[in-house]
Structures are given as structure tokens and as C-alpha cells.
């Protein structure tokens, strides 16, 4: 491990975000801190004075968080990393694509486009692809499967909603559970990867796991194929099979740590 990850710092900075449940979740951020990162767990709705529901999103809020972390005296390097899952991974991909402060991005079971909510950033306004609620799947177990509720971003009318990942300053790593029953996350990641290759951006990577579901979390986290959401009347199906999902959590966590260590520089020179 590099010396910049131990002692009094400074340390590589990482912004950590979760998904559509909102609020502030800190367990992964705390674990990142134990591995030598200066980690900021970032809420973006349903917490304190933030909106209770996620409406239109202004990327400026996330830029302020990235700049705050860049400016912190305990944070090293020329930029920060972002790790996020689900709807948060959509926000994370937006950050990686548009914000110069972001040096590396990890998207766990996310999308390749803006969905549902309009995203703004200065003069830029990206329309959200409407959700297709008529395609919700009601399972025999009395749960909801949301994996078909997002429209195909390849349709001509949705092209303006796709993230131009080729503009990202730094590398992007997509972590995907192939048995995700909340998003068609493997499809979205492959689309982002194909776009990156089309525009000759070579540092976009995909690590996928057969049998793993949506809630890919650090190793030791409980396997959770179904749980209640505060925003739906029925529990949501996340997917996954016990052993392959747990193995995926073990392997992907190592991949994430290695990716962040490699791509967030420890030097304090030319700090933003």
C-alpha cells in the first residue's frame, strides 16, 4: 500500500453515494476510510433540509461536494474518486462525465443515461428518459421487479439523455450483477462501454458477475434479494443467488479498492 494511505495523511478523497432510498448511508464510506481514503458519504435527497423526493437534479450540488473534498487539507491529489450504486451511480456517472474534479468513477449497477429527472449543470439541461411504469413486473411472491421500467436509451428520441462518457476526465469502472432485477444494468454498462470505444476512450472498464443481484455491497454485507422501499407499496426484488452474490461482493470490493488506489493520485501538486 502506498505511504499516502497511512499515518496522518493527506489521503485520496472519495465521494460515496447510494441510490433511490435516499437518506444518508455511511457504512461503505466508513469502510473506505478504514482502507486509507478520505471518504465523504453524500446524501442528495430525503435527508435533513434536502428534498424528500428526488426531483430535477442540479449537478452543481455534486460539484460543490467534490470541490469541498478537493480543498480539504487531509485530501491529496489532483481530484477525487466517486463510488455509487443504483440511482446514485447515475449521478456518479454524471459527475465523472462533466466535473473536472472527478479523477475516477465506480458505477455499481447503474445506467448510461439520465432517467426520470431532468439533470441541469449551468447552461446544460439533460432531459430524463421517462419511466415506463406500465412495464413494472408484479411477481408471484408479491414483490415488484423494476428491471423493465426503463426505456431503451438507443431510441432516437432518447439520444440527448445519454451520458457522453468519452468526455470524462478519468477512468470509469462499471460493476454489474448479471442477475440484477432492479435495473437492466449489464445492458446499460455495455452501452456505455461501446460508446467509449466508439470515441476512442480506452479507460472504461466492465466487471460483471453471473448470479449476482442489484445490491452489490462490501464483503460481509448480508445478502438481500428483497426488501421494502419507502417509495413503493410493495417490496422490491433486487435479484441474485446467495453464493455467487456473496462471492461477487468479495471480488468486486478488491477490484474497487485497487481501481481507486491506482487512479486517485497521492501527489498534492497542482491541486484543484
Q: Which of 4, 180, 184, 246 is catalytic?
A: 180
HEC profile of 227-267: ECCCCCCCCEECECCHHHHHHHHHHHHHHHHHHHHHHCCCC
Q: Which of 16, 184, 214, 246 is catalytic?
A: 214
Collapse the DSSP code of 219 into the 3-class scheme (helix H, G, I; strand E, B; otherwise coil) and give the result: coil
180 is catalytic: yes
Chain-centroid distance of CA 2 in Å reads: 25
What CA–CA distance (Å, rounded) separates 225 from 208?
18
214 is catalytic: yes
Give the number of other CB atoms < 10 A from CB of residue 66: 25
Q: Which of 4, 70, 86, 246 is catalytic?
A: 86
What CA–CA distance (Å, rounded) separates 156 from 163?
14
Work out whether the CA dihedral 214, 236, 143, 223 comes out positive or negative.
positive
Element (H, E) at 14: strand 11-17
Work out whether the CA dihedral 44, 28, 26, 38 comes out positive or negative.
negative
Element (H, E) at 90: helix 87-98
Catalytic (active-site) positions? 86, 180, 214
Amino acid at each position: 500500500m502506498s505511504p499516502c494511505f497511512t499515518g496522518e495523511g493527506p489521503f485520496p478523497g472519495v465521494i460515496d453515494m447510494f441510490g433511490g432510498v435516499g437518506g444518508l448511508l455511511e457504512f461503505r464510506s466508513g469502510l473506505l476510510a478504514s482502507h486509507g481514503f478520505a471518504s465523504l458519504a453524500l446524501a442528495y435527497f430525503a435527508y435533513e433540509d434536502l428534498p424528500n423526493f428526488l426531483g430535477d437534479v442540479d449537478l452543481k450540488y455534486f460539484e460543490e461536494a467534490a470541490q469541498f473534498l478537493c480543498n480539504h487539507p487531509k485530501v491529496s491529489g489532483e481530484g477525487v474518486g466517486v463510488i455509487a450504486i443504483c440511482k446514485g451511480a447515475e449521478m456518479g456517472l454524471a459527475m465523472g462525465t462533466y466535473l473536472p474534479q472527478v479523477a475516477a468513477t465506480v458505477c455499481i449497477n447503474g445506467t448510461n443515461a439520465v432517467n426520470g429527472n431532468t439533470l441541469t449543470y449551468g447552461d446544460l439541461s439533460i432531459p430524463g428518459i421517462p419511466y415506463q411504469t406500465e412495464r413494472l413486473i408484479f411477481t408471484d411472491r408479491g414483490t415488484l421487479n423494476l428491471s423493465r421500467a426503463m426505456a431503451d436509451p438507443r431510441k432516437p428520441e432518447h439520444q440527448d439523455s445519454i451520458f457522453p462518457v468519452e468526455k470524462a476526465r478519468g477512468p470509469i469502472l462499471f460493476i454489474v450483477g448479471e442477475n440484477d432485477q432492479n435495473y437492466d444494468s449489464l445492458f446499460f454498462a455495455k452501452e456505455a462501454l461501446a460508446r467509449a470505444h466508439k470515441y476512442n476512450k480506452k479507460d472504461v472498464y466492465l466487471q460483471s458477475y453471473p448470479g449476482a443481484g442489484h445490491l452489490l455491497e462490501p464483503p460481509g454485507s448480508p445478502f438481500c434479494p428483497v426488501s421494502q422501499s419507502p417509495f413503493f407499496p410493495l417490496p422490491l426484488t433486487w435479484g441474485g443467488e446467495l453464493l455467487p452474490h456473496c462471492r461477487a461482493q468479495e471480488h468486486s470490493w478488491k477490484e474497487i479498492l485497487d481501481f481507486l488506489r491506482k487512479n486517485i493520485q497521492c501527489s498534492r501538486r497542482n491541486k484543484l
